Chain A
Amino acid sequence: MPLIIKDEYPEKLFREDGKRLDGRDKHELRPIKMEVGVLENADGSAYLEWGNNKIYAAVYGPREVHPHHLAKPDRGILRVFYRMATFSVFDRKRPAPGRREKEISMVITDCLEPVLFLELYPGTSFEVFINVMDADGGTRCACTTVAALALADAGVPMKSLVTAVAMGKIDGELITDLSGIEDKAGEADLPCAMTWFNEELSLLQFDGKMDLEEFSKCLTLGKEALTKIHEIQLDTLKKKYIEIQEELKGGENEQ
Chain B
Amino acid sequence: MEREQDESIEESNTENNETEDVDEFEGDETSRDVVVPGEVLSEDTTNFLPGRGTIFNKDRTKIISLNIGLKQIQRNYINVIPLRGFYTPRPGDKIIALVTDKNPVKYRCDINSKEEGILKPKNTVKRGKPRGFRGGAPDRDDNSTEKYEIGDILIVKVLSADRLNSPELTTVGKYLGKRRDGLVISIDPPKIPRVIGRSGSMIKMLKNLTNCNIFVTQNGRIWLKGENISHERLLIDAIRKIEKEAHTVGLTDRMSKYIENEKMKRGIN
Q: Which residues of A contact B (CB under 8 A)?
A: 43-44, 61-64, 115, 117, 120-124, 152-155, 157-161, 196-198, 234, 237-238, 241-242, 244-245, 248
Please indicate the chain B residues that have their CB under 8 angstroms from the CB of A123 in the complex.
Answer: 115, 164
The reply to whether the CB of B77 lies closer than 8 angstroms to some CB of chain A is: no
Instruction: A117-B66, A122-B163, A238-B36 given; name 11 further pairs at CB < 8 Å.
Output: A115-B37, A124-B115, A152-B68, A155-B82, A155-B86, A158-B37, A160-B64, A241-B34, A245-B32, A245-B34, A248-B245
**Closest CB-CB distance, A102 to chain B, in whole Å?**
26
Contact B86 A160 (CB under 8 A): no
Q: Of the candidates A43, A115, A122, A155, which one forms a contact with B164 in the assembled complex, judged by CB atoms under 8 Å apart?
A: A122
B 36-78 to A, binary, CB cutoff 8 A, 1 in contact else 0: 1111000000000000010101100000101110000000000
Q: Which residues of B contact A (CB under 8 A)?
A: 32, 34, 36-39, 53, 55, 57-58, 64, 66-68, 82-86, 114-115, 163-164, 190, 244-245, 247-248, 254
Among residues of B, the one whose C-beta sits closest to the C-beta of A125 is: B114
* CA of A64 to CA of B58, assembled, Å: 32
**Closest CB-CB distance, A14 to chain B, in whole Å?**
36
**Interface residues of B, dominant DSSP:** loop
Among residues of A, the one whose C-beta sits closest to the C-beta of B163 is: A122
Contact B64 A159 (CB under 8 A): yes
* CA of A113 to CA of B36, assembled, Å: 18
Contact B67 A157 (CB under 8 A): yes
Please indicate the chain B residues that have their CB under 8 angstroms from the CB of A120 in the complex.
Answer: 163
The 7 closest A-B pairs by CB, nearest first: A160-B38, A155-B84, A155-B85, A158-B37, A157-B66, A62-B114, A237-B36
Please indicate the chain A residues that have their CB under 8 angstroms from the CB of B85 in the complex.
Answer: 155
Contact B114 A63 (CB under 8 A): yes
Contact A159 B55 (CB under 8 A): yes
